[in-house]
Amino acid sequence: MDFEFSAEQQQLKEQARRYLADKCPTTAVRAILEGSDPFDRALWQGLGEMGFLGAAIPEEYGGLGLGYLELCVIAEELGRALAPVPVSSSIFLVAEILKAAGSEEQKQRWLPKLASGEVIGTLASVEATGSVRPSNVALSAKAGTLTGAKSPVLDGDIADIAIVLARHAPGKDAQGLSLYLVDLNQSGIERTVLDTIDPSRSQAKIAFKDAAAELVGAAGDGWRLYEEALDRAAILTGFEQIGGADKALEMGRDYALQRFAFGRAIGSFQAIKHMLADMYVSATLARSNGYFGAYALSTGSADLAEAAATMRVSSTKAFQHCAKNNIQVHGGMGFTWAMDCHLYYRRSNLLAVSLGGLNEWEDKLIDRLRAKNAA
């Protein structure tokens, strides 16, 4: 048994950490949060050049041809650094869907550009408040064009292409749904940037009017492909969340060591010490569940769906818990704009809903445990 990342993978992780410490300190995150740029272009380009974006994309399509485990350790570091770049949309979702279901032509055309960062992709699925389900996907696909709107779309303002969950056959059921690839730089597209809780990752509404689109995967397979893509993304995003949780815990720990009140470091008070201990517990549970997620993803295990839901629930709670209590450890300082605590708090709450809320994933987890148990 070796339930740990290999020495090479850990080196890659170290390399990513050093790279991000240099190119993506929190001042860079703040620049996006506060400024008008929707994402950090230089960082994005650099991640492409370093091969981080294409780590799990085959060499024949312009990637490094490493595997999911390598992408997991990179994701963790991106989460730790709060990297203000569209990796989750472009790589965890769009590149993954193309790898799984794209035609040879689609792969050849888009994967190399996604790997280099030249093209940014996003997944557009949401049309209503609440969970995405077949009955509330109405955007319509007819004769190679899409008409309707998706909102919010993470990185929708900056993406060059989108994979869109659309309805090709009338009705409310999953069989009428397919995935379409759309070039967003065409006239039938209108985008509106949205205010969100975490402006370090931009979001938009995208309106489609007779926009040219091509099918990805078979017609009628849209819902299945979408759900499978969410599972893989849940594990990769889960590593972002683990990275964020760990960093929030470290920030809290460091502050508790350095800040004195009543003549002693506040970390010597049990109220603070035990709060940090509980943060460590949730972060550790999430990491361990994450390792199983990484294992399942990298081996294509039959447990992948269960592992994805487990990790999603575990890592979402851990990051929210750590980010929230990191502010509490910092007291009033934690609530200033100037301190970085709120950056982690914002991101933790963005990632908590970015692939659908906890309540949806809890449901999936129990469904999957039951299916396995029945099998």
Partner 1 sequence: MNFDDTPHEAAFRAEARAWIDANAPKHLLPHLEKAGFGGIELGGLDPMKEAKAWQKKKYDAGWACLHWPKEYGGRGASPIERVIWNQEEGPYAALSGSFIIGHGMCGPTVMDWGPEEAKRELLPRLAAGEDIWCQLFSEPAGGSDLAGLRTKAERDGDDWVINGQKIWTSGAHYSQWGILITRTDPDVPKHKGLTMFFLRMDTPGVRIVPIKQANGQSGFNEVYFDNVRLPDSQRLGGVGEGWKVSLTTLMNERLSIGSGMSAGFPDIFEFCKELELADGTLAINDRGVRSKLAEWACRQSGLKYTGMRAISALSRGENPGPENSIGKLVAGSSLQEIAMFALDLQGQAGAVSDPKLAAMAAKFQAQLLRSPATRVEGGTDEILRNIIGERVLGLPDDMRADKGIAFNKIPTA
* Residues that contact partner 1, how many (by CB under 8 A): 101
As a whole number of angstroms, the distance between CA 105 and CA 265 comes to 61
**Residue from the set 259, 269, 303, 350 that interacts with its own copies by CB under 8 A:** 269
Which of 263, 270, 300, 375 is close enough to bind its own copies by CB under 8 A?
270
Residue 308 Cβ vs partner 1, minimum distance, rounded to whole Å: 12
Angstrom CA distances, 97 to 47, 57, 68, 111, 198, stand at: 20, 12, 14, 10, 26
271 touches its own copies by CB under 8 A: yes
3-state secondary structure of 227: helix
330 token code pair: 């910092």
Binding flag, residue 138, partner 1 (CB under 8 A): no
- 346's contact among partner 1, its own copies, none, with CB below 5 to 8 A by partner kind, is partner 1
Of 261, 254, 296, 298, give the one whose Cα is nearest residue 279: 254
Among 58, 65, 152, 220, binds partner 1 (CB under 8 A): 152
Nearest Cα neighbor of 118 from 31, 198, 185 is 185
| Residue 280 binds to its own copies (criterion: CB under 8 A) | no
Task: Look at residue 225 and give its three-state secondary structure.
Answer: helix
Structural Rg of the chain based on CA atoms: 20
Q: Note whether 154 binds partner 1 by CB under 8 A.
A: yes
Contact partner at residue 167 from its own copies, partner 1, none, CB < 5 to 8 Å by partner kind: none
Interface with its own copies, residue 274, by CB under 8 A: yes
Return the residue of 23, 109, 191, 273 that touches partner 1, per CB under 8 A.
273
Gap between the Cα atoms of 92 and 359, Å rounded: 22
Element (H, E) at 215: strand 203-216
What the block records as the tokens of 6 is 């290999």
The contact mask relative to partner 1 for 60-79 (x = CB under 8 A, - = no) is ---------x----------
Q: Which span sits near partner 1 by CB under 8 A: 138-146, 206-214, 233-241, 308-316?
A: 308-316
Tell me whether strands 145-154 and 140-142 are parallel, antiparallel or unpaired.
antiparallel
| Stretch of 83-91, 126-134, 189-197, 266-274 lying at the interface with its own copies (CB under 8 A) | 266-274
Residue 36 vs residues 39, 190, 260: alpha-carbon distances, Å: 9, 19, 38
Stretch that binds partner 1, among 36-44, 48-56, 102-110, 367-375 (CB under 8 A): 367-375
How far apart are the C-alpha atoms of 318 and 298, rounded to whole Å?
Answer: 23
Q: Which of 58, 174, 219, 269 binds partner 1 (CB under 8 A)?
A: 269
Asked if 209 contacts 173 with a C-beta cutoff of 8 angstroms, the reply is: no
- To which residue do tokens 């933790």 refer? 348
Check residue 36 for interaction with its own copies (CB under 8 A). no
Q: Which does 144 bind (CB under 5 to 8 A by kind): partner 1, its own copies, none?
A: none
CA atoms within 13 A on the CB side of 61: 25
104 binds partner 1 (CB under 8 A): no
3-class SS at 195? coil
CB of residue 274 to its own copies, shortest distance in Å: 6
- Which member of 142, 171, 363, 371 binds partner 1 (CB under 8 A)? 363
Residue 264 burial (CB count, 10 A): 9
Residue 260 burial by CB count (10 A; 0-12/13-18/19+): exposed, middle or buried? Answer: exposed
Q: Which is nearer to partner 1, 29 or 215 (CB)?
A: 29
Which of 36, 187, 270, 300: binder of partner 1 (CB under 8 A)?
270
Site for partner 1 in 236-265 (CB under 8 A): 249, 253, 256-258, 260-265
Q: Smallest distance from the beta carbon of 270 to its own copies, in angstroms?
A: 4
Among positions 111-130, residues that touch partner 1 (CB under 8 A) are 125-126, 128-130
Binding site for its own copies (CB under 8 A): 269-271, 274
